[in-house]
A = this chain, B = another copy of it.
Amino acid sequence: MAGCCAGLAAFLFEYDTPRIVLIRSRKVGLMNRAVQLLILAYVIGWVFVWEKGYQETDSVVSSVTAKAKGVTVTNTSALGSRIWDVADYVIPAQEENSLFVMTNMIITMNQTQGLCPEIPDKTNVCKSDADCVAGSTGTHSSGVATGRCVLFNETVKTCEVAAWCPVEYDARAPEPALLKAAENFTLLVKNNIWYPKFNFSKRNILSNITTTYLKSCIYDAITDPFCPIFRLGNIVANAGHSFQDMAVEGGIMGIQIKWNCNLDRAASLCLPKYSFRRLDTRDVDHNVSPGYNFRFAKYYNDLTGTEHRTLIKAYGIRFDIIVFGKAGKFDIIPTMINIGSGLALLGVATVLCDIIVLYCMKKKYYYREKKYKYVADYDQGLGSESDQ
């Protein structure tokens, strides 16, 4: 058997298969099959049927547009009777994955650059100029201190600041919210998703939906689960909050669109699932700037060319459209990986049974004799050969 090609021939023309002991025993036999069955059941049933271990997965790439509709009227001393439409309460006019609807505001009309006393608070009430550091700006001050201490009203004196005057007084947001009627506004969400790996794309406006339906429908989890038009009040209610409470100080609502698709089945079964979650904190003990608000200004020039502005601290609800999901499709790699490990697990059956047969059963020595062939080094004598 020397010589390379002889070795090659041996390698090619020899077939080696392990020698097996066949133990005819109901107990052990049944037990063995049972264990194997269990493992097989796990591999096939759980990994493949339930967890779809045979699928390659991809996560979603998405594009969203949102459009609000609705008009309301407010009646305040400052503004009188005023109509609010989309151009007034959606700021900025368009965003990529979100839309802000102003529900409440603090308006400071006709500000100009100048000098004026601060709104009194613990930091800026003063007795004399000594209490005001010129050029200083606190975190919450609305301007740069001039160093003078001036009368805010008959009784109180505060530090004077160079700022947009008069300075905003935003002690608390109006209650109830000015645009509380926003509860009835509607939001049309258009979402186009794409699974690059499978080059599969779909829209949340399903092809079996008619235009007439879209013109009238309002999303409802039970009756209209695929209508992409949402009533703002319902969104907040679905998240378990009160719109009127939220409208006062504002907040963030997440409109979650879940696209979990099994692309081994018909594309028409790949459907969006909407859910709603409030994304800002409501813990009363961590309400550093609670809710959601920001400031913006409208700028004017008067005859003399001096610049005026109307400062608006806008409270409102930002609707973030969060799209996520996974698509699965049969793929050879994960399938093989799972089959491989499944087979490896089958090996466990034999190991388990061997342990029982060779250590727990009363005939264990008899079985061991059959399974094992003891070979010792010469020096240890060959007595053990007898068990052949």
Residues of A within 8 A of B (CB): 11-26, 28-33, 42, 46-47, 51, 53, 59, 61, 63, 65, 67, 69-73, 81-83, 85-88, 90-98, 100, 110, 113, 137, 139-144, 162-164, 186, 188, 190, 192, 194, 196, 201, 203, 205, 207, 209-211, 214-215, 252, 254, 256, 258, 277, 279-281, 283, 285-289, 292, 294-303, 305, 308-309, 311, 314, 318, 320, 322, 324, 332-333, 336-345, 347-348, 350, 353-354, 357, 363, 367, 370-377, 380, 384
Contacts and interface: CB of A to CB of B under 8 A. Distances in A.
Nearest to A323: B61
Contact of A283 (B31, B72, B194, B207): B207
Given A100-B94, A340-B342, A16 B20 contact: yes
A320 B96 contact: yes
Top 7 nearest A-B pairs (CB, nearest first) are A340-B341, A93-B296, A340-B344, A214-B288, A87-B297, A13-B29, A15-B28
A337 B14 CA distance: 30
A237 to B, nearest CB: 20
A300 B300 contact: yes
Given A24-B374, A65-B280, A96 B96 contact: yes
10 contacts: A16-B21, A18-B20, A63-B252, A65-B292, A67-B294, A71-B142, A73-B162, A192-B279, A211-B285, A340-B344
Nearest to A31: B15
Contacts of A196: 258, 324
A96 to B, nearest CB: 5
A281 to B, nearest CB: 6
A376 B95 CA distance: 79
Contact of A83 (B93, B113, B256): B113
A277 B194 contact: yes
Contacts of A194: 277
B63 A320 contact: yes
A279 B31 CA distance: 59
Nearest to A59: B59
A376 B67 CA distance: 80
Given A12-B29, A211-B286, A345-B339, A63 B322 contact: yes
Contacts of A71: 137, 141-144, 163
B332 A336 contact: no
B258 A163 contact: no
A34 to B, nearest CB: 10
A22 B252 CA distance: 70
A198 to B, nearest CB: 13
A248 to B, nearest CB: 17
- Which of A24, A28, A31, A314: most chain B Cβ within 10 A? A24
A140 B338 CA distance: 56
Contacts of A192: 252, 279-281
A351 B283 CA distance: 62
A90 to B, nearest CB: 8
A364 to B, nearest CB: 12
Contacts of A95: 95-96
B144 A83 contact: yes
A318 B65 contact: yes
Chain B CB within 10 Å, residue with most, of A87, A142, A190: A87
Contacts of A301: 300, 302, 308
A345 to B, nearest CB: 5
B337 A341 contact: yes
